[in-house]
Amino acid sequence: MTGKNVERTKQQSSPKMAIRMDDYDPFIRGRFPVGVRTIPAFDTARERSFPCEIWYPAAAQHAGQDISPATQDVFPIPLFGTQRSQMAVRDAVALPGTYPLIIFSHSSGAGRRSATFLCTHLSSHGYVVAALDHSEVVVPELGRRAGETEEQKNARWEAVIKSRVPDVQFLLDHLFSTWDSEAKLDRTQIGIVGHSFGGWTALAAPDAEQRIRAVVALAPGGASQRKPGILPVTLAFNWERDVPTLYLVAENDTSLPLTGMYEIFARTPATKQMIILRRADHVHFMDNVEEMHEAFRKMPLSGELALIQREMRSIAELCSGEQAQ
Cα–Cα distance for residue pair 278/138, rounded to 1 Å? 35
pLDDT in tens, 68-79: 999 999 999 877
Cα–Cα distance for residue pair 205/234, rounded to 1 Å? 12
> What's the rounded mean pLDDT across residues 272-280?
97
Asked if residue 139 has pLDDT above 90, the reply is yes
> Which stretch of 103-107, 259-263, 292-296 has the lowest confidence by average pLDDT?
292-296
What homologous superfamily does CATH list for 3-324?
Answer: Alpha/Beta hydrolase fold, catalytic domain (3.40.50.1820)
Identify which has the larger pLDDT, 291 or 81. Answer: 291
| Residue 263: pLDDT band with limits 50, 70, 90 | very high
Beta bridge mates, 9: 274
Residue 278, pLDDT score? 97
| Residue 15: pLDDT band with limits 50, 70, 90 | very low
The CA-based diameter of the chain, rounded to the nearest angstrom, is 56
Asked if residue 2 has pLDDT above 50, the reply is no
Cα–Cα distance for residue pair 152/66, rounded to 1 Å? 45
Asked if residue 279 has pLDDT above 90, the reply is yes
Residue 245, pLDDT score? 98
Cα–Cα distance for residue pair 55/242, rounded to 1 Å? 27
> Which stretch of 25-29, 99-103, 203-207, 213-217 has the lowest confidence by average pLDDT?
25-29
Cα–Cα distance for residue pair 265/95, rounded to 1 Å? 37
| Residue 8: pLDDT band with limits 50, 70, 90 | low
| Residue 21: pLDDT band with limits 50, 70, 90 | low
Is the Cα dihedral 254, 283, 222, 279 positive or negative?
negative
Asked if residue 11 has pLDDT above 50, the reply is no
> What's the rounded mean pLDDT across residues 285-292?
95
Residue 116, pLDDT score? 98
Residue 288, pLDDT score? 94
SS (HEC) of the chain:
CCHHHEEEEECCCCCCCCCCCCCCCCCCCCCCCEEEEEEEEEECCCCEEEEEEEEEEECHHHCCCCCCCCCCEEEEECCCCEEEEECCEECCCECCEEEEEEEEECCCCCCCCCCHHHHHHHHHCCCEEEEECCHHHHCHHHCCCCCCCHHHHHHHHHHHHHHHHHHHHHHHHHHHHHCCCCEEEEEEEEEEEEECHHHHHHHHHHHHCCCCCEEEEECCCCCCCCCCCCCCCCCCCCCCCCCCEEEEEECCCCCCCHHHHHHHHHHCCCCEEEEEECCCCHHHHCCCHHHHHHHHHCCCCCCHHHHHHHHCCCHHHCCCHHHHC
Please provide the average confidence, as pLDDT, over all residues in the chain.
91
Asked if residue 6 has pLDDT above 80, the reply is no
> What's the rounded mean pLDDT across residues 187-197?
98
| Residue 280: pLDDT band with limits 50, 70, 90 | very high
Cα–Cα distance for residue pair 113/75, rounded to 1 Å? 9
